[in-house]
Amino acid sequence: MNNSSSSRKVVVIDGCRTPFCRSGTAFTDLRSYDLGRMAVSGLIHRTKIDPGEVDLLVMGTVIADPATSNLGREVVLGTQLPDSCPAYTCSVACVSSLQSFLDCARAIQTGDAEVAIAAGAETLSDAPIRYRRSVRKRLIAAQKARGPGDYLKLLKGLGPTDLLPEPVALAEFSTGEIMGENCERLAKRLGISREAQDEYAVMSHHRAAAATASGQLTRQILPAFPPPRYKGVRADNGVRSDTTMEKLAKLRPAFDRKLGTITAGNASYLTDGGAAVLLASEEAAEQLGLKPIAVLRGSAVAALDPLEELLLGPAMTVPTALDAAGLGLDEVEVVELHEAFAAQVLAVLKVLDDEEFCRDRLGRPAAVGAIDRGRLNTWGGSASLGHPFGATGARLITNCCHRLEAEQARHGLVAACAAGAIGIGLVFERIDGGSE
């Protein structure tokens, strides 16, 4: 599926985010609700938008908290946005807030909204814990128990292991395979070495560290003061400026212990964070005095084979999104790709430049082309900045649009893969005289 935004222009006003923090560290006492509220409130303050002008909020998240099952609506009720603002929650794995953005964009294109907020939030520090099915059935039955005898009957047949909680499900439901296991097979199939993966990871961390030191990244980050100490957090805390090939070489493979190439050092890590993007129709932006950064030029969504193509979503969506925008890959100066694993990014780069793959799988007469590493994730990516599932998409859009401004580039590309073998690609064009 692809879409051209030529009918009614959708513009990006600005984007921002909380710091991205390793799970179990600075944000361990915060919920996805708190992180989403921080991002949306910060965006409203940053853009000076009248909250009453926002027609829609769509919030991406993956691991839902039952207490805030419609996270988007709860964020509306917990911020400056009016109670009358419609909101809902979107869950499409790692592309959740990219899908949130597309939903908002389509609402604007159809005239159902003029101004919207696409956001995402995730905490892996406080993921809901489930007990095993045998225990859950008894707990439900316990609601009808009338005395000690009934309770004792419910305990019959339970063993010690039944009382152990289930780990958070990270495996694909359809295949039973963990994404890292799938990526190992992909790396082996395409001949992507451990050395190449580690080199990419070192580059990601060093670029993120440089962008942080220069202020390019901190410009988009909202200072946070999380409980219980309320000590200020002003930067991502997972970036390792001192990462070297020698250090990464010492790490053991995470999934294939004997022959594996994927390690904790060349993959993204569990992260807490929130991000938000303000978008509007071109007419509404002008009427409200908002200065947009970029205009959406094209988009694409793809659904693939989860066994063999789980991580190749960007390879399917990049050429289609570029077609929708009427552009070639060589015309794009800013590229932001999600880094679930270094091997996954390298795989996407390899197949896009492979004539056989592009002919057989994409139906194209030639390779899409090579993505210049000098244009790719120059401020770091998910491998270094972190990957709070629901917030990553909004971070990618924010990075892309801010890089367009900073580099005075014309066209930017965003693409990501997701569990379930989903891919989303977006193309943006810089608007002169944006948010600064």
> Which residues have a catalytic role annotated?
94, 387, 417
Strand 334-337 with 411-418, pairing: parallel
Element (H, E) at 226: none
Query: Cα–Cα distance between 259 and 257 in angstroms, integer?
Result: 6
Count the Cβ atoms, other than its own, within 10 Å of residue 176: 8
Under DSSP, is residue 273 helix (H, G, I), strand (E, B) or coil? strand
Nearest to 105 by CA among 16, 32, 38, 6: 6
The closest alpha carbon to 204, from 382, 362, 348, belongs to 382
Name, in order, each residue with C-beta under 8 angstroms of 288's C-beta and a sequence gap of 6 or more: 49, 50, 53, 115, 280
Per DSSP bridges, beta strands 115-122 and 271-281 are antiparallel
Tell me phi and psi for residue 341, to 5 degrees.
-145, 150
Among 314, 394, 349, CA closest to 203: 349
Instruction: Please name the residues in contact with 411: beta carbons below 8 A apart, sequence gap of 6 or more.
Output: 297, 325, 327, 331, 332, 333, 334, 404, 427, 428, 429, 430
Contacts of 284 (CB under 8 A, 6+ apart): 53, 114, 115, 290
Pairing mode of beta strands 87-90, 56-60:
parallel
Q: Are strands 334-337 and 87-90 parallel, antiparallel or unpaired?
A: unpaired
Would you call 213 helix, strand, or coil by DSSP? helix
User: DSSP secondary structure string, 53-79?
Assistant: G--EEEEE-SS--GGGSSHHHHHHHTS
CA distance 429 to 410: 6
- Kindly report the number of other CB atoms within 10 A of residue 87's CB atom: 22
> Which 3 state secondary structure label does DSSP give 424?
strand
Q: How far apart are CA 43 and CA 323, in angstroms?
A: 31
200, amino acid identity: Y
